[in-house]
Amino acid sequence: MKRIYCKIEKCLACRSCEIACALAHSEYETLVDTLRDQKGVKPRVHVQFVDEEGTLRKVRALAIQCRHCDEPLCAQACISGGIKKDEETGEIIVRLDKCVGCWSCIMVCPTGAISKNENMHQALKCDNCPDKEIPSCIVACPTHALIQEEYDSPQNHEN
Amino acid sequence: MNFLIIGNSAASTSAIEAIRKHDSTSSIVQLSDEEFPLYSRCLLSYYISNTIKKETLLYRSKDFHREMNVELYTGKDFYATRLDVEKKEVICKNNRAFSFDRLLICTGSSPRIPNSIDEGIEGIFAFRNIADAERILEKIPVTRTAVVMGGGLIGIKTALALNTAGIRTFVVARSNYILSQMIDPSSAQIVSDHLREQDIQIFFETDVSEVLTRNNKLAGVRLSDGKIIDCEILVAAKGVSPNTGLIDGTSILKDYGILTDAFMRTSNENIFAAGDVAQAFDIVLEKQAVNALWTSAVQQGRIAGLNMVGQKTSYNGAIGMNSLNIGNLSLISFGITHPIDDSQYKVLVNNQPQRNIYKKVVIGADNRIKGIILLGNNSNAGVLLSLIQRKTDVSLFEEELLDDRFNFGKLLKYGGESEMDRYYKGMY
């Protein structure tokens, strides 16, 4: 399946992807309204530092989102049966109507890609922006560090 | 091939899904002594606190068994009473016999009921299944005070649920700190303080010594120190023990639970076990242990199902793991968190009481993580768990493990090329 990857050498850790993601998943159209929201709008992509030393130009970071794992631990751990792998698309889907906010998925996610909406007791994670042609984090990335591709070998990722 | 599965919860469900992925034609017969459709036991505390509706308890769609082409028999009559290993059949309470080529035992576990407790008295409950939950729900409107026996995870979850339902709740713990199977005294202190803030009071180092009744109804309890608490509900949450009765009188080996190998196979080659009833390899303890956990049951059921259908797959092993929320305070723990002999371990702690953060990592002499407590900030819990699961040597970065900034990015840093490779290949 197609996954969103981050080219680490291109990521500036500017967090444009996080803002775009939060906005895309809020019910509002503007960033100001999104930030005022009380329900706890949060990004589903997380900028993480690989190295923290060095100047901004030398920093190594990546934007990590759900890997849509082949054997998803989150789905195995989910006590409500609300996380499932779509057999056709390969995507991991969280049914928010079933989620009780027990954080069992966060307990086991190997990349830490799931975040908590504590106000709504719901687990949030990347859904590949189902209504958009290109996921909003990719559109927002100023350095084109984010890509969505079918990856089978590391060579593909060079350049 | 005829598959027979005993039980209808986490392990059996993932076994069925694993079998059907590879085999759509073989017969699968399933027996369960519970009438209600497949539901999640872990959600029952959310149900009694009225946080979720009854239909949310359903773990899969109502049509799951039909879609999976499983012949399901439910109800007390289909309680599996006897296993005949020679004849390859299971006999139910109603004397019906079901034969099998391969059998999966997922009979789960049952609450340990102390001798002082008589479940025949109105108001006394062992909280395990949906029938218990319904009886507790009926009693809640006429209840002012409840007492929970047991300061373990089930006891605390039950107390939180009753508290949410508006009932004044007391916890009676035999140990001198709560959650002693899961965390250490320092973190337990923080949790206890939070429970007290929510008006849940805990009595330590004591037990219910006598149940006080009026007209065969619960009226109160007397604790070993003589204290009397008037209450209308008493819940026994003293842990669970595996339901191994089905293999009694057979040659199948058991210790505490039914012993299983890496393929979730019992000592009989055609008989498998998974879930709370199974004693399977534990990665941290490095021996077979019973981990009565939802996640372990799902994983073991899957492994059993795959091997039953001939897809040879071995189980990496279970790890003790739990997640608990007290209001907005989140607690996650893994493995050995409070070693008795800590001379064999290196223990690192990140304690920030003013931020309600307490993190601890227990590292073995082999530089592998044996246990973790993450109280407060734990969004990277699974990243740390992956280090336990993969038995990663953490000596290079152990000082960073409890840093709030320790995350997947750091795995890429310390894991080098092979970790980058895993990321780019999507090997998760």
Mark which of B198, B223, B238 sits at the end of a domain.
B238
Beta bridge partner(s), residue B280: B289
A65 touches chain B (CB under 8 A): no
If asked whether residues B136 and B231 sit together in one domain, one would say yes
What CA–CA distance (Å, rounded) separates B345 from B337? 11
If asked whether residues B11 and B88 sit together in one domain, one would say yes
pLDDT tens by residue, A59-109? 889 999 999 998 999 999 999 999 999 989 899 999 999 999 999 999 999
Q: What is the CATH number of the domain that holds B164?
A: 3.50.50.60
If asked whether residues B294 and B346 sit together in one domain, one would say no
> Does residue B180 belong to any structural domain of this protein?
yes
Q: Give the H/E segment covering residue A47.
A: strand A46-51
A93 touches chain B (CB under 8 A): no
Contact B229, B170 (CB under 8 A): yes
The complex's ipTM works out to: 0.95
What CA–CA distance (Å, rounded) separates B425 from A156? 10
If asked whether residues B368 and B332 sit together in one domain, one would say yes
If asked whether residues B357 and B299 sit together in one domain, one would say no
Pairing relationship of beta strands B233-236 and B145-149 according to DSSP bridges? parallel
If asked whether residues B376 and B404 sit together in one domain, one would say yes
- pLDDT > 90 fraction of chain B, expressed in percent and rounded: 91
Q: Are the Cβ atoms of A157 and B424 closer than 8 angstroms?
A: yes
Mark which of B259, B274, B308 sits at the end of a domain.
B308
Mark which of B308, B337, B355 sits at the end of a domain.
B308
Q: In what order do the strands lie in the sheet with B357-364?
A: B321-326, B329-335, B369-375, B357-364, B345-352
Picking from B414, B413, B412, the residue whose alpha carbon sits closest to that of residue B422 is B412
pLDDT at residue B104 above 70? yes
Pairing relationship of beta strands A83-85 and B70-74 according to DSSP bridges? unpaired
Picking from B320, B340, B261, B273, the residue whose alpha carbon sits closest to that of residue B301 is B273
If asked whether residues B18 and B105 sit together in one domain, one would say yes
Instruction: Tokens 């591709």: give the residue.
Output: A149
Q: Please name the residues between 95 and 114 in chain A that touch chain B, using a CB distance below 8 Å.
A: 97-98, 100-104, 106-114
> Does residue B321 belong to any structural domain of this protein?
no
Picking from B375, B405, B376, B374, the residue whose alpha carbon sits closest to that of residue B388 is B374
> Does residue B189 belong to any structural domain of this protein?
yes
A69 touches chain B (CB under 8 A): yes
Angle between helical axes of B294-308 and B10-22 (0-180°, round to 10): 30
If asked whether residues B277 and B419 sit together in one domain, one would say no
Segment A28-47 mean pLDDT:
82
pLDDT tens by residue, A119-157? 889 999 999 999 999 999 999 999 999 999 886 544 444
pLDDT tens by residue, B313-325? 999 999 999 999 9
Q: How far is A33 from chain B (nearest CA, A)?
A: 25
Residues B119, B125, B128, B134, Cα dihedral to 10°: 110
If asked whether residues B192 and B131 sit together in one domain, one would say yes
> Does residue B224 belong to any structural domain of this protein?
yes
Instruction: Tokens 């499932």: give the residue.
Output: A84
What CA–CA distance (Å, rounded) separates B262 from B283? 12
Look up residue B280 and give its DSSP letter. Answer: E
Q: What is the CATH number of the domain that holds B357?
A: 3.30.390.30
Q: How many other CB atoms are found less than 10 A from the CB of residue B276? A: 28
* Angstrom distances, CA of residue A65 to CA of A44, A84, A149, B88: 7, 17, 14, 49
DSSP 3-state of B111: strand
Contact B321, A107 (CB under 8 A): yes
Contact B173, B205 (CB under 8 A): yes
> Does residue B19 belong to any structural domain of this protein?
yes
Q: Are the Cβ atoms of A60 and B60 closer than 8 angstroms?
A: no
Domain that holds residue B337: 328-425
Domains observed in chain A: 1-65+126-159 (no CATH), 69-121 (3.30.70.20)
Q: In B198-293, which residue ranges form alpha helices assigned H by DSSP?
A: none
B358 touches chain A (CB under 8 A): no
Picking from B30, B31, B36, B29, the residue whose alpha carbon sits closest to that of residue B59 is B36
Angle between helical axes of B408-425 and B381-389 (0-180°, round to 10): 70
Q: Please name the residues between 79 and 108 in chain B that touch chain A, using a CB distance below 8 Å.
A: none
Please report the beta strands in A55-114, taking only residues with DSSP state E, as ranges in sequence order.
60-64, 83-85, 92-94
Can you give the pLDDT at residue A151?
Answer: 65
pLDDT tens by residue, B273-315? 999 999 999 999 999 999 999 999 999 999 999 999 999 999 9
If asked whether residues B270 and B337 sit together in one domain, one would say no
> Does residue B116 belong to any structural domain of this protein?
no
Q: Are the Cβ atoms of B409 and A101 closer than 8 angstroms?
A: no
Beta bridge partner(s), residue B264: none
If asked whether residues B418 and B348 sit together in one domain, one would say yes
A88 touches chain B (CB under 8 A): no
Total domains in the fold of chain B: 3
Residue type, A120: M
Q: Does this model's pTM top 0.80? A: yes
Segment B347-362 mean pLDDT:
95
Beta bridge partner(s), residue A61: A49
What CA–CA distance (Å, rounded) separates A81 from A73? 12
- Out of A50, A73, A152, the one facing B409 most closely (by C-beta) is A50
Instruction: Tokens 């500017």: give the residue.
Output: A14
> CA angle B324-B328-B332, nearest 5°?
30
pLDDT tens by residue, B130-155? 999 999 999 999 999 999 999 999 99
> Does residue B106 belong to any structural domain of this protein?
yes
Backbone angles phi, psi at A113, to 5 degrees: -90, -5
Can you give the pLDDT at residue A156?
Answer: 46
> Does residue B118 belong to any structural domain of this protein?
no
Picking from B182, B119, B115, the residue whose alpha carbon sits closest to that of residue B151 is B182
Kindly list the residues from chain A whose CB atom is less than 8 angstroms away from the CB atom of residue B323: 102-104, 106-107
If asked whether residues B221 and B283 sit together in one domain, one would say no
